[in-house]
A and B are shown apart, each in its own frame.
Chain A
Amino acid sequence: MKIGEVISASVLGGIEVKLTLNNPEELRVGYPTIVKGKKYDFYCVVQDIYTPKSKVIERIAGIGKEEMIPIEAHDSAYGNLFPCMAKLKVIQLINEKGELKEPETIPPYLAEVRLARKEDLEKIYIPNETSLPMGNLRGVSFEVNLDFGKLVEKPFGIFGRTGVGKSILCKIVCNSILAKEVGNVLIFDMHQEYGLFSKTDNTPGLKYFFPERVEVFALDPVANREAKPFFIEQSKITPSDIIIAFQDLSESMIDALYILEREKGSRDLVTTIREAEPEEYEGKIHSSSLLALKRRIERLRRFDFVREGVEDSFTQMLSLIKAGKSIVLDFGKYGLSTTSYLFIANIITRRLYSIYTRQEENLPKLILFLEEAHKFLEPKVAQHTIFNKLARETRKFNLILALVDQRPSRIDEEVRSQLANRLIMSLKEPSDVSAALSGVPDKGTWEGIVSTMPPRNVLAMGDALPIPTVIEVLNYNVANLKRILKNMDSEEIKEIASNIDIFD
């Protein structure tokens, strides 16, 4: 469908289009379009839609009588009476052979502009063995495949504010990674969404579709009796676990923590803190810092999963990971405690990092989904943890970090710059929009698109897609997953799906 003609264009500034649509509401920011040049098809996305200022409109605005004929009921001798305009961002040129080229030129005046069609898009989005659809291209009934093989090669980020469908997107990504067998996942499941069924909306989780390949551990075995109980042996706790867990430790408390770690001897750190007396450390630790630290440590008593003298479940978890399993760690009643999440995530990640970077054996690729990532990667705490290193180095060691966050602006800039792929959902805070797109060429253009995207839409950019793309994330329902599962290679999964009989 023709939507307009080019009235101005610039390689740097994009293309301005006079719309021929009667109603500008038919077009939306992010819609894919084709500008028909003489040598190339210019594949573009709608960056902005606007009505130019008009003196006539200013004069007639506010005049209203019933008998008057409204301006939309006027045919004009030259197209629309008051045409609207659109600004397009050129993403790619497609030549006559269907080859993609960088946008280094512009279309001529009055070049026709239309919405992109399936055949245009098939030249750009070419599925491969490791790709699966993630949803429809915004405004077009065309499924966009994301290359999950590429996605899991390097750290990536999933950003979006609360309530825009971030968890659903994460589930789709996890399922697709497992379906394409490009890696295994480890998820800290705070809200019991990823196991067999989501406790929030009852949608099937990873264990539902991949019962043989997903193991569920539970910090709260009472709430999930089918999962394996997970315990942390108290002696395994390090200063960084405590710094991350409590987030609000002062510099002097952090210093105290390291002093106690050095001087704990054969005791574990938690016991050392509990038993420490101010007089004992006079001159080394300020008494108020020590007392504050002791008060914080007492909170760990609320965590039943921290025990003395138990077999640490991490060993079991690690052997399952080595056996090619994915892990869902169900937080049960602890899901509401940010401290418990930060504490557990740090302990597990730190230990995985240590094992993966030793490279003593060939470990399977593991994608670690880290929600509330900024809490681990804020510049203030990042220096005390291994997450900085994890984001920067671990692709060499088969341990890939997936940052999931609603406040990307609070994630250390250097870490953000390491993300090879970004799945950005709606963000309203300008600093978050800007941070989510940091390092992206022509960032300003995408900022406008991200800040106006509705929920369940995602801007996907990076090497897992040929070009940055706005996608309407597919509905996470049985029918859609059935379709995706059909695409899977694994016969085993098909068989499981048919046995469960959920698709008929």
Chain B
Amino acid sequence: MVGERMIVGRSPKIEVVLESDTVSRQHMELVKDDAGLWWVRDLHSRNGTLVNGARVVSHRLSYGDVIQVEDYFLTYVRMPGEVAGKRPIGAGHLTMVDGPVGQLRSLRDLGAPKIDASQLSRLIALGGELLATAEADDRIRILCDLMVSGDMHGTSALAIRIDRSGVQEPALLRPPSLAPGKETPHISRTVLRTVLASGAPVVASTYDGGKALLKLSMVMEAMSAVAVPIGGDEGHLDTLYVTLPSNYGTAEWLALVSLAGELYRQAESTWVARRQAEAQAVLEEELGRARDIQTRLVPRDFHTGKLDVSFDYEACKWVGGDYVDALPLRDGRLLITVMDVCGKGLEAALIAAGLHTTVHVLVHEGLGVAALVRSLNRYLCSTLPAGVFVTMCSLVIDPETGEIEQVNCGHPPPMIATPGGALREVETFEQAPLGFLDGDAEIVVTRDRLDHGQLLALYTDGLSELLDERDHMLEVEGLAALVAAVAVDGATSSATQLATRLRARLAAYRGAAVPADDASFILVLRPSVSSPSPTLSASRSPS
């Protein structure tokens, strides 16, 4: 706006002429006050003057205000040069305008675009460039720069983030890309609202079939604008906003910008997938190391001459919540423990690792089996999340006599198999699992005996609940049959050999079914008195 005062109305003798019978001859005036601020004043017009939809007599103008005089809408905006000189626009700041933008059209509204082969070729090259560019900022710069290149004729290209709730003002994602000599444009709220509502590319033009819309020095220069969604989520929509010369608001240019936007979206999806794959690879590498550490916590098979012990541990995921262990006590007896942490995976594995350390410390302090279980229960009650528990079978066996003392907390009772094929459960008093066991409860110890030639089997329910390919469960009875079958060879085989055979039978039962639970067992063979006495040795469990 120029001068100090501009009268707007129907009269041909005033500064701004609005040709309409419903507009008064001198309808309203725009006046600059002593402070340099502009005001709108209604000049007692017949049909009134509205600002932002409300009728006014006098109103000080703010940027973005829309003055309505009958069918005419005048938007009070900062001129681009003024903006550039006073406050450079950086990423995050935009000058928004309301008001007429011409007809808004989507690809559906327009005829089939006639796209030049060279432009398609340029877009194909864009796809390759985006896929080869690792930095997200660089990719969006490449997209915007292409829009203002000689190939695409854009005067400006902006990546704008629109808040879907409307609470936040639209913001630039990066500084605008501008054609030489061009200024950052004003952004039409109407265009952004339309692309947000439709989620589809739109084009608007202030040039319509050769008849320019009302073009006032205080409104904006005629131009076309294309807005294309290029990303976002539930909270926001990222949009490519390209301004073009006014006669470029056609199907061809809408299609070209839309294709560029789509290529950008596809490239972004590819980069997201690539980043996820890289993160997954790192995670799997870490889980692989965790699995290695957990496997190292499983004792090696060993033979003492009096007892022959073998271990099997199989996590159904990378790591698991089963725990198998054997520790010599000060009195020469052997503490054998199998535990099953409720749940699977990393959470269960962390608890199992904590149990390993705790058991070893308590045994080192000389605790007996009952005191050990009581201490473990207290530790778990104070550390486990609600609803998480641990089943446990802990027994002490005397290698000289075969005498067994057992404490069982909700765990499947161990089995004893004879070389003749008979099988029975170890005498068991089943208490509540650790974590649910009352802290003051008496820890009941039961006694039994492993005779020469007999095989003792401790296991987790991943074995008894093993599913075959038809989803049939092995059950305790099925497992007992498998243990009894391998125990027949107890007189001539080591515990390691028997464990290998049991493992093979379990694998045969499972077939191609995917394991649903961690599965572990311990076999303790008390050799027959007639068997050759093996020397003390140890070997790593094959699993």
**A and B interact physically:** no
